[in-house]
Amino acid sequence: METATMMCKTAMLMLIFIVTPSNASMNMQTYIVHMDRTKMTTTTSDRWYESVIESVNELFDQEDHESEKPELVHVYKTAISGFAAKLSTKQVESLKRLNGFISATPDEMLALHTTHSPQFLGLEPGKGLWSGSNLESDVIIGVVDSGIWPEHVSFNDIGMSPVPSKWKGECEEGTKFSKSNCNKKLIGARAFFEGYEAAVGKINETEDYRSARDAEGHGTHTASTAAGNLAHASIFGLAKGLAGGVRYTTRIAVYKACWSQGCASSDILAAIDQAIADGVDVLSLSLGGSAKPYHSDLIAIGAFQAIKNGISVSCSAGNSGPSSSTVSNTAPWIMTVGASYLDRSFEAIVELGDRQIFEGSSLYIGKALKQLPLFYGDQRAAFCIDGSLKKNLVKGKIVICQRGITSRAEKGEVVKSAGGAGMLLINSVNEGEELFADAHVLPASALGAIAGKAIKAYLNSTNKPTASITFKGTVYGKPAPLMAAFSSRGPNRVGLDLLKPDVTAPGMNILAAWPPSTSPTQLKSDKRTVLFNIASGTSMSCPHVSGLAALLKSVHKDWSPAAIKSALMTTAYVHDNLNRHILDVAFSTPTNATPFAYGSGHVDPQKASDPGLIYDITPQDYQNYLCTLNYSASDMALFAGDGFKCPKASSTMEPGDLNYPTFAVNFKKNSKSNIVTLKRTVTHVGIPNVTYTVQMNEPDGVSVMVEPQVLRFKKPGEKLSYKVTFMQKKGFMVQGGSFGVLEWVYLNMYHVRSSIAVTWI
């Protein structure tokens, strides 16, 4: 998915080594090396790692004269046992001979994946989760991203109490960033760039800041979405209102690990490691790469250590939808967040010369364009790539540009430089009816695939095609939520036993804080400055859920990260504001979204604060789950520590037995008798003396039996278990999956809802 200007630019104890680039270093790359702490030969870990360095250098001197020597850069203290180093393949082989070596994983570059959204979520000043008593408690959100613009009004500390004594973090100085940039709101700021510089070279400080200061905008946007202070906001007068983060009184700690060309996984792990040590309560990561086994996923490894320390972790699901099996950040201890629409739009109406009218989207605020000639090129010109448009053909015309290859805003820049008067940005069938609102540099409207098809047919029907564009500004009351086409989808290819993503939240056309030094389009030719900008992506939905986790942590201080996650999942809803099933804009015809797009559904904060029942999971439960995946001892050590042994009971467990709030059922295509039985345990967190009954909406082609069908609880804290048996009906197999719902209901007070997804593999 391209954001307004390809925003993502696609945006333990460890040591990191790095060397100055040279001919020899061309054969070297950064590896994250895991070591067995039980094999320590010295009394302190620092001295042991020094001896490891010495051993590497000795082997280097004896056997490898073509590579450069490593140099110590980072020390990590909580996430895993090991180090990261820039090594040649020969040096990695030499390391494998050292006592205590477990594994070496190549570093990789990952990508970065809001005024009205709190109201859309049902948050009201002075009420419920936004009551004064709840907002007064100290909660710290750690944001791993591209940094922050500390002077922004969203991060002022007026009226805030002193920094809590539990905080151990710092405000690190660097390029145009001093300790005075932190305050009682922004209480910590650090930058991690060693892995990045090892991969791409030294940071160009004319384009970025070698500090926690944000040059991209992404980090400032996500931090303010989660926890920005209340401020009057708009962009060019659009979306005007009082903007605030989901938990606007929360403290913010920023960990900059993302730069102009991406985020090195070793730096992300360093940031998570430091955030744990600093004492954050919630971690928000709007970034990721392709899904991979958990033991190879450094975000999953770091997040697990955070969970063990009671820290809730939210991650973006990715922007690779609507293709199936694209969801990332799929570890069960991570809250994986998809993206959906608000009920707000920015309408730009297009009327063709034959009177056909289409509703588009734009943040352009200039005068309307009267009927002007249309131009649509072929090949490269159809995508409005730089240099593809000839001035004599497009001057004074509205140019039709197909999405793809380059960013949406960049296409407008190309049209403007060629003398075009305006732009119609049309979707392909794969992009469906997705409508991004961008701050285009010329009059422009984004249009869906239906309009795109009609416009092409119109071009073929007349020798003098024309069109006009009228800008209607901000419009509220649109059908919502809708699933964004770009939001990455299940099934979860890493673990088919887990339904991912977990939930969806607002992520389309979100207004939030923006650095004044960065234009709203991020184009160098765009000299406009804004304090707030509209952006889209699961990067925007993730911090909404991080803020909600902080709100729930304020209300339920004794809840585990899994309990908070369960509450948000089982109270989520799947109907829009017209009481229809949530639709998926990836399709040109109205099509219901499925749990592979929204997981449990759209988050509902107020209901999540009193969910009735929760599906709790301990770190030990997660470890037992990993045992069912047949991980090796060295793989398990990454999560459970050195010397961990899987319990004997795990040999009879199945991955699907993890006490997850949703059900992912896998039937074999060629089996004549598909029967799967799963067990769950719920903890009562509501009022005393209640009786829940089960209600089923069975997936097509599947019979479901629940035992028992009634759960009676006398007091809060009580736990009861039940079993669910899924049986394939004879002759049935549903292509693409079959979906249902299991719901535990008490009167009209509690509806504890679990999505069901059945696939044939």
Q: Are 86 and 29 in contact (CB under 8 A)?
A: yes
Q: Are 753 and 566 in contact (CB under 8 A)?
A: no
Q: Are 414 and 392 in contact (CB under 8 A)?
A: no
Rounded-to-10 torsion of CA 86, 92, 97, 100: 50
- Dist CA 144 CA 259 (whole Å): 12
Among the listed residues 488, 539, 546, 650, the single catalytic one is 539
- Dist CA 484 CA 598 (whole Å): 10
- Dist CA 710 CA 702 (whole Å): 21
298-308 vs 633-640: helix axis angle to the nearest 10? Answer: 50
Among the listed residues 145, 267, 502, 526, the single catalytic one is 145
- Dist CA 197 CA 648 (whole Å): 45
- HSE of 714, CA atoms in CB hemisphere, 13 A: 0
- Dist CA 726 CA 742 (whole Å): 12
User: From start to end of 244-394, where are the E strands?
Assistant: 251-256, 258-259, 262-264, 282-285, 287-288, 312-316, 335-341, 344-352, 357-361, 369-375
**Number of Cβ within a 10 Å radius of residue 41:** 10
Q: Which of 486, 529, 706, 694 is nearest to 1 (CA)?
A: 486
Q: Are 147 and 220 in contact (CB under 8 A)?
A: yes
In sequence order, the 6+-apart residues with CB closer than 8 A to the CB of 191 are: 147, 172, 174, 210, 211, 212, 255, 256, 257
Among the listed residues 218, 221, 440, 544, the single catalytic one is 218
In sequence order, the 6+-apart residues with CB closer than 8 A to the CB of 3 are: 319, 407, 436, 535, 536, 537
- Dist CA 107 CA 29 (whole Å): 8
What is the number of helices (H) and of strands (E) in the chain? 17, 38
Question: What six digits make up the tokens of 117?
Answer: 């959204």
Task: Look up residue 287 and give its DSSP letter.
Answer: E
C-alpha angle 189/211/146, rounded to 5°? 75
SS3 314: strand
- Catalytic (active site) residue 218: yes
Query: Residue 722's Cα: distance from chain center in Å?
Result: 32
C-alpha angle 676/677/681, rounded to 5°? 145
- Catalytic (active site) residue 539: yes
Task: Look up residue 509 and give its DSSP letter.
Answer: S
Tokens 């333990």, located at residue: 12
Alpha helix locations (H) across 356-422?
A: 391-394, 408-417
Show which residues are catalytic: 145, 218, 539
